[in-house]
Structure 1
Amino acid sequence: MRTLTIASLLATVFFSMSSHAQDGRPASADKAKWLSIPEVHARLESAGYRNIEKIERENGSYEVKATDPAGRRIKLYVHPQTGDVIDQRQRDAKRDKYDSGNARNKQRNSADCNERRCRDDLPLQGNLQPAAGK
């Protein structure tokens, strides 16, 4: 009986200590020092990124989906206190709903069409003839 009590007490202590172990995420006190999402957005815009969307707190950093200055869709990992880009990866075009890889968007003037919206009432470049019946 005594060994069972000691074993259960040790198991309780062991499992309670493992729940307090570091899991790679910053402590809750450090979260107070994190930049706000609007601050991260402003820093990325000033660095030349555009079409910034979906800024999330993930695994101790901000995860951001944006377009880099070269026009590629990328996923950024941003340091939460400094706003510096830690890592970036090119987005998979098949999974990106704002991908401008189709032929119709490539033919449009960039002032009239971007990854988020496209004006269908404007003619395609090189096709300046009015529609039949008008």
Structure 2
Amino acid sequence: MRPMSKLLMSAAAVMMLAAPAFAEEMKCDVPDQTTWMSQDDLTAMYVEQGYDVKNIKIDEGCYEIYGLDANGERVEIYVDPVTGEPVDAMSEEGSDS
């Protein structure tokens, strides 16, 4: 195996092992849904910031927003359900932001 291939394989292995740790960070620990923002308020908040919100789901205790950013790129944003602040986001290319 060539040195570059070994390096790429090692990097891929590290990323696969780290993925569960990153996923763990995305959980929102807000069990009481009475304190959550409404989906309408959350949509309005992100529209004001230039997003085109297509869909909102609940995943791992977070709101998960699907839509387009101001540049027209698809985004998936996990947000705290109480504050509406982003917990994690991914663009169409799949890179974290």
TM-score range, shorter chain: 0.5 to 0.7
Letter in 2 for 1:74: V
Q: Which residue of 2 aligns with 1:6?
A: none
Which residue of 42, 45, 69 corresponds with 1:43? Answer: 45
CA separation in 2, counterparts of 1:67 and 1:24? 23
What letter is aligned with 2:80? H
Q: Write out per-residue CA displacement over residues 94-117 of structure 1, whole angstroms, 9 at most, x where no aligned residue.
A: xxxxxxxxxxxxxxxxxxxxxxxx
CA RMSD, Structure 1 to Structure 2 (Å): 2.2
Gaps spanning 5+ residues in structure 1: where?
1-22, 93-134
Q: How does 1:31-70 map to 2 (within 5 A)?
A: 31-50=33-52, 52-70=53-71
Match of 2:30 in 1: 26
TM-score relative to the length of structure 2: 0.61
Q: Deviations over 1:42-70 (max 9, x none)?
A: 000011111x1120111111001111112
Q: Which has the higher contact order (CA 8 A, sep 6+)?
A: 2
The share of aligned pairs that are identical, in percent, is 28
Q: Which runs of 4+ in 1 moved over 2 A?
A: 23-27
Q: How much does 1:24 deviate?
A: 6.6
Paired residues, number: 68
